[in-house]
Amino acid sequence: MLKSKENSVGAWAFLVAVILALIIGISMSLIPIPALTRYSSFIYLILVILGLIVGASVNATGRDSQTFLITGTIIVIVSRFGMESAISSLIGIGLGDVVSTAFAALLALFIPATIIVALKTVFGLARV
């Protein structure tokens, strides 16, 4: 199976953004730096912008867009429910905040990316 270069760029951008979101999410709760807490809304804004860029750069057409939308929706739903359950179930061992902030960072990245791909798919269908 041959892959095009533009799809490869989108895949690498997506992978880098997911790793960055996880690093940001985990470091927001593990590193007690007041600057991180003070600028947390700005950091999440950067993740949202990265999500918009990733959604625009992913070249998902046809079956690929369906796969991306289904998996993106699943990740958003599971991350949201994971945030709520992580706070209540992992709080005793001190991991509730770490997991919750990691899920929040993934949500900040995946929601805009999924919306952009969904809009591209709808407009692609409308061009029929």
pLDDT tens-digit map of 90-120: 566 666 677 778 888 888 888 999 999 888 8
13 pLDDT above the threshold of 60: yes
* Mean predicted lDDT score pLDDT of the chain: 77
Sequence-ordered list of residues with C-beta below 8 angstroms from that of 80, at least 6 positions apart, any chain = 103, 107
State the Cα–Cα distance between residues 67 and 55, nearest whole angstrom. 14
CB burial of residue 95 (10 Å; 0-12, 13-18, 19+): middle
State the Cα–Cα distance between residues 128 and 126, nearest whole angstrom. 5
Q: Domain range for residue 54? A: 5-126
Average pLDDT over residues 22-36: 74
Number of structural domains (the chain) is 1
Predicted confidence at residue 112, as pLDDT, reads 92
